[in-house]
Amino acid sequence: MVVVYGEPNVFCKNLDDTQENWEDCLQNCLNTWSCVLVHQLTEKSCKFFTIQDVRNVKILDSSSNKKVAFKISLPTDTCPRETQAPPLFGNDSSSLIITNGEGTYYKSEVTYSPETWDYTEEINIETWDFNYGMLNCLTDIPENYVPLDITEEYPYYHKLTSPFSPGETFFMRGKTAKLGKVTTIAFLNTETSDYPLYIILNQEHDVSNNVSITIWKNNNQLLRNIPEIYPNPYGPEEDFEIRVTSTKDVATIYFNTTKIEYPLYSGVPLPNINYFVINYNGESQPNQRGELYFLGWTGDCQYLNM
């Protein structure tokens, strides 16, 4: 919590006062997931503001003796130097991602405004402005998903915006390749040319109609001399669905209802990947011809303004 001189300017008027000392007010706001601001009323009373309760705070100096405390996300555990004024410490804005613990995430962002019209005093005032958003993330393949319009030739790249951490889920729908061709699903770090997980659906003749799973480092060094081979639950040109989730040590791969537990290698961390790539192994291969209908993961998120 960052304490500064100020008072709420645009806010919900029907919020109740809380009868407790200032230190308890600060601690209770910090411990309450939805609290973004607390305003000191007296030495033994305060008012809590949760998401969307407050829109801006009037900036005051120490002579006012009116205090507010922002819940701010600081880059380190060390308080910023006082040469930059709180609560933004020289930054244009400060964002806080908060969750209700049930899978819904919210963004609270504070920015500085040098000119906000005060309708009471009919003058421009300096304020800290709040903006809120809700973070919507994919949790599964949408029932009414729009098939991907892939105009370029494979390979198809899907860039990750955050680590593919343990507990995240990758999901894809597509069609297997023709007889004699393959479909590849690469979990790739393009910066190091590592494949923490590389899956091949072989649509060859009966003796090699299988699923091959490998791990590669530096593009050419295969960490296991013999790929892990599993029965292929699909025939050529057949619709399929794949899901991949993991712990730190094991990837769990589902082809529809077929489940494969595949041990990972600590030297090639799965969270370090930056792309999912379909039909790829360093270059576009003529025999890689699986089709992609939809691809997503639980890290695909979008903010919606509130």
Among 106, 137, 168, where does a domain finish? Answer: 137
Segment 13-69, tens digit of pLDDT: 888 889 989 999 999 999 999 999 999 999 899 999 999 999 999 999 988 889 999
Q: What is residue 83's predicted lDDT score, i.e. its pLDDT? A: 66
Domains in the chain: how many in total? Answer: 2
Same domain, 209 and 131: no
Segment 99-146, tens digit of pLDDT: 887 767 888 999 999 988 887 778 889 999 999 998 888 889 999 999
Question: Would 149 be classed as within a structural domain?
Answer: no
Nearest of 166, 170, 111 to residue 138 by alpha carbon: 170
* Dist CA 184 CA 3 (whole Å): 54
Same domain, 129 and 183: no
Segment 153-206, tens digit of pLDDT: 778 999 998 899 999 999 999 999 988 888 999 999 999 999 999 999 998 755
CATH number of 275's domain:
2.60.120.200
Question: Would 150 be classed as within a structural domain?
Answer: no
Q: What is residue 301's predicted lDDT score, i.e. its pLDDT? A: 83
Same domain, 116 and 164: no
The CA-atom distances, in angstroms, between 40 and each of 62, 108, 126, 151, 232 are 14, 20, 19, 58, 65
Same domain, 14 and 78: yes
Question: Would 232 be classed as within a structural domain?
Answer: yes
Nearest of 119, 100, 8, 123 to residue 54 by alpha carbon: 8
Question: Would 143 be classed as within a structural domain?
Answer: no
Domain coverage including residue 14: 2-137
Among 137, 167, 191, where does a domain finish? Answer: 137
* Dist CA 20 CA 43 (whole Å): 8
Question: Would 192 be classed as within a structural domain?
Answer: yes
| 86-90, 199-203, 238-242 — most confident range | 238-242
For the chain, the average pLDDT equals 88
The pTM for the full model equals: 0.64
Q: What is residue 104's predicted lDDT score, i.e. its pLDDT? A: 77
